[in-house]
Structure 1
Amino acid sequence: MTTAEHEEGRLVLSWLPVVVMAVVTVVDLTAGPGVGFLPLVSLGPAFAGLIGSWRRTASYGVAALLLCVALGTYDGLFDTRRGYTAMASVAGVTLAGVIAAGMRGRREAELASVRSIAEVAQRVLLRPVPRTAGPLQVAVSYTSAVAEARIGGDLYEVVASPYGVRVIVGDVQGKGLAAVETAALVLGAFREAAHDEPDLVALAARLERSAAREANGEKFVTAVLAEVRAEERTAVLLNCGHPAPMLVHSDGAVDFPRPPDYALPLGLGVHGGEPPRSFRVDFAPGDQLLLYTDGVTEARDADGTFFPLNERAGLLKNPEAEAALEALREDVVRHSSGPLHDDAAMLLLRYR
């Protein structure tokens, strides 16, 4: 549900108690006391308790009681037990609504507190990347597959190190808090090692050791590392079982540079396999390098067709990197025709 639809729903619910009590009043005055509509006045405070505070619910309850007394007197119901029964019904529903509204208010306050803590956790785990780093203009996008979630198993970071601008985009196996914990471990190791290790192979080995200690051969992280130096018109890439990045040249040509050999995902080094090898690609002024997770390319439409990333490279023509990446993100969401089935992270490097 979109924000506009949510607000529209709340507006309807806020007016529903007034409408219900007005309808009951009209029907009671029209049909007379024989129909027995008077107890339905209690629907007013009942609906008020769905979204309003306990004070708002209590005020509607008082209004319903006064309306019940007025209609009951008009209909002559207080000569029998029917009038008192209707008042008892309204009072009981109002009391239940006030209690429910109070409990809901406390839960909403607790949820707001949890969300504020989650936002702090997001800033610690996925810190805002610099808009510029060396010769690069940087933009990032993260769309979680979990409703209301701000963080998940995808990770990214940009570090301006003594060896150039270093970047990582990765995807942790699994979901939930365990994936977030693993992502935090890998990001922490990357932020430290990016300043110390002289090349991407040594950096990847450092990340492998950190991930292996945590994963114990059972969990893994696919990742792609990139390094761009100001004095060179090339980018160094190292791919650990991750989707190949998309390289968009200044003339509009699109390429997906693949490594000579894929390295095992981080955390699976205990199973052997070839050691990671870095490779170079041309990366000159005007070029763009998009690193992403498989939540982007595996987004499917209603017919089950995967998102055609290579055909959407034209969306990155916007002069502003953030606007260009947002246009691509919106296109991914439109293509999926609903919530994404996996987290989708994108990081755009634009050589200025």
Structure 2
Amino acid sequence: MPCFAEGHGALPAVTQVESRHRRQPLRTRGRIAVQALPLLLLAGITLLDLRTGEWFRIVSWIVLVPGTAAAVCGVWTTAGYAVLSLITYVAVDRVWPDEHRAGLADFLLVALGGALATLASAARVRRERQMLHMRDIADTTRRTVLRKLPAYWGGLEHAGAYIAADVDARVGGDYYDIQPGPHGTRVLVGDVQGKGLGAVETAAALLGTFREAAYHETELTVVAERLETRMTRHRLHRIALGRDDGDRFSTAVLLGFPEDDPDTVELINFGHEPPLAVGPHGVRALPAGDGLPLGLADLVAGCPPLHRVPLGREETLLLVTDGVTEARDKAGEFYPLVPEVARAVTADPRRAEPHRLVRRVRDGVLRHTAGHLDDDTTVFAIRRMREDPVQGRLRS
């Protein structure tokens, strides 16, 4: 199953793991029946050995008990099962006459099996701790890149869902953010080419530049130029370090919500999927990616053009990465994003609300792919608030 990271709205946390569980890897989190499995195995072997004749002695099978415990229990529990297995072996074997006893050889087998099982349990627990530590690092990295946004940030109601295709990595190159400022609120949604920490580093670099430029720069075109320059500088830096990602680029959509024109949205599209305006009257696509992705401006003359598009107060902008548009089912069919959204909004106009819309698309993609995603997936929805009670305080 993929890994989820959600926020910015009323969406429920899907697979967030509480920190107290991360710090207790030896617990099976309520799976008492699993921990009791070695005990049941011990009881079964004991009863079977006592109820069968001397021609079917299986008391030495007790060596399976600590081996089973090593797979599901902690170190001390496994060691306890090893000791209990030895005691049980001696007690059961003494019930039989001398000529039918398993003897010292099988006793040493059970003792050695218990010792090895305890060592195996210690190695497994150590690996679990390392894995959980790496997941904590990945979660911290994700929270740094995809920072938590306040409710109704910058006069916008918003919701977002990020689904990492790699459950172990938990991070990828998808990114989004909202930055209010004295020249209006700006929004950036993008997808860095490739995966891994290199893509995460690139996304962090772009977001850092966006947060500064979107606040200070008057014109959205200047913000776009700053992003292009940052992408070029970052790529040259990586090349100088000998990293093999000199051709890395990023598709992105840069949006501006001017304060003096509440019925218009400014848009610069760097080769990204076009945003969808979703409202009670249906679904319409905003201008498509008529420019090259960030990092490829040297192939053309400058950044993509700026579009000013009418946007109704009741319309929500839906932005997705190619993890949504390229999601396939078992038959190879792509996820029908526009028809699914249009059908949902037609049935209930309230589904155009950001958190409902994101949940609908997220669940639809997971159903369509049966939970098997080939790429990181981001769903982000925003719309203007009619009133923003915290806007004045945030601007100050």
TM-score, with length taken from structure 1: 0.91
Matches of 1:274 and 1:230, distance apart in 2 = 27
Residues 158-186 of structure 1: CA deviation (Å, up to 9, x unaligned): 10021111001101111111111111111
Q: 1:121 & 1:82 partners in 2: Cα distance?
A: 57
| Alignment-mate amino acid for residue 234 of structure 1 | T
Matched with 2:392 is none
What is the rounded CA distance, in whole Å, between the counterparts of 1:153 and 1:168 in structure 2?
13
1:131 to 151, 170, 181: 151
Distance 2:63 2:359 in 1: 49
Partner residue in 2 for 1:339? 372
| Pairwise CA distance, 1:14 | 2.0
- Alpha-carbon shift at residue 138 of structure 1 (Å): 1.0
SS at the partner of 2:147? coil
1:323 and 1:56 map into 2 onto residues whose CA distance is 46
Corresponding residue of 2:45: 24
- Provide the rounded CA distance (Å) in 2 between the counterparts of 1:248 and 1:318: 9
- CA distance, structure 1, for counterparts of residue 201 and residue 97 of structure 2: 68
Q: Do the aligned partners of 2:154 and 2:178 also contact (CA within 8 Å) in 1?
A: no
Moved more, 299-308 or 102-111: 102-111
Report whether the alignment pairs 1:235 with 2:265: yes
Which of residues 258, 277, 280 is equivalent to 2:308? 280
Preserved contact between residue 50 and residue 101 of structure 1 (Cα < 8 Å): yes
Q: 1:319 and 1:247 mapped to 2: Cα distance?
A: 9
8 Å contact kept, 2:135–2:170: no
Query: For 1:257-287, what per-residue CA distance to the aligned partner results, in whole angstroms no more than 9, with x for missing partners?
Result: 125x711110011222563111011112111
C-alpha distance 337-273 of structure 1, shift in aligned 2 (>3 A): farther
- Aligned pairs for 1:136-215 (under 5 A) are 136-215=156-235
Q: Which runs of 5 or more residues in structure 2 are unaligned?
A: 3-14, 16-27, 237-245, 386-396
Q: Tell me how far apart the structure 2 counterparts of residues 317 and 298 of structure 1 sit (CA, whole Å).
A: 27
Segments of structure 1 that go 5 or more residues without pairing to the other structure are none
Change (3 A) 1:167 1:121: same
CA distance in 2, matches of 1:270, 1:35: 80
The CA distance in 2 between the partners of 1:151 and 1:162, in whole Å, is 32
Partner SS, residue 161 of structure 2: strand
Deviation of residue 140 (structure 1)?
A: 1.1
| Alpha carbons 1:182, 1:214 under 8 Å: kept | yes
Matched with 2:72 is 51
* Offset at residue 15 of structure 1 (A): 2.8
Report the count of equivalent residues. 346
Q: Distance in 1 between matches of 2:88 and 2:112?
A: 15
Alignment of 1:202-351 (within 5 A): 202-216=222-236, 218-232=247-261, 233-249=263-279, 251-259=280-288, 262-273=290-301, 275-313=303-341, 314=344, 317-318=350-351, 321-351=354-384
Q: CA deviation at 1:112?
A: 2.4
Q: What letter matches 1:105 in structure 2?
A: V
Runs of 4+ in 1 over 4 A off after TM superposition: 7-12
Q: What amino acid sits opposite 2:254 in the alignment?
A: L
* CA distance in 2: counterparts of 1:11 and 1:281, whole angstroms: 58
TM-score (norm 2): 0.81
Name the CA distance, whole Å, in 2 between partners of 1:195 and 1:8. Answer: 45
Report SS of the residue matched to 1:225: strand
* Superposed CA offset, 1:92-111 (max 9, x none): 11100111111222222222
Measured in 2, the distance between the counterparts of 1:171 and 1:319 equals: 24
Contact in 2 for aligned 1:144/1:150 (Cα 8 Å): yes
1:263 is paired with a residue whose SS is: coil
Q: Distance in 2 between matches of 1:319 and 1:253?
A: 9
SS of residue in 2 equivalent to 1:167? strand
Query: What's the CA shift for 1:339?
Result: 2.0
Aligned partners of 1:123 and 1:311: how far apart in 2?
32
Name the stretch that deviates more: 112-121 or 53-62. 112-121
- In the alignment, the residues of structure 2 paired with residue 142 and residue 128 of structure 1 have an alpha-carbon distance, to the nearest angstrom, of 12
Instruction: Name the Cα RMSD after superposition.
Output: 2.3
Identity over aligned pairs, percent: 37
Tell me which residue corresponds to 1:72: 93
1:321 to partner: Cα distance: 3.1
CA distance in 2, matches of 1:172, 1:17: 48
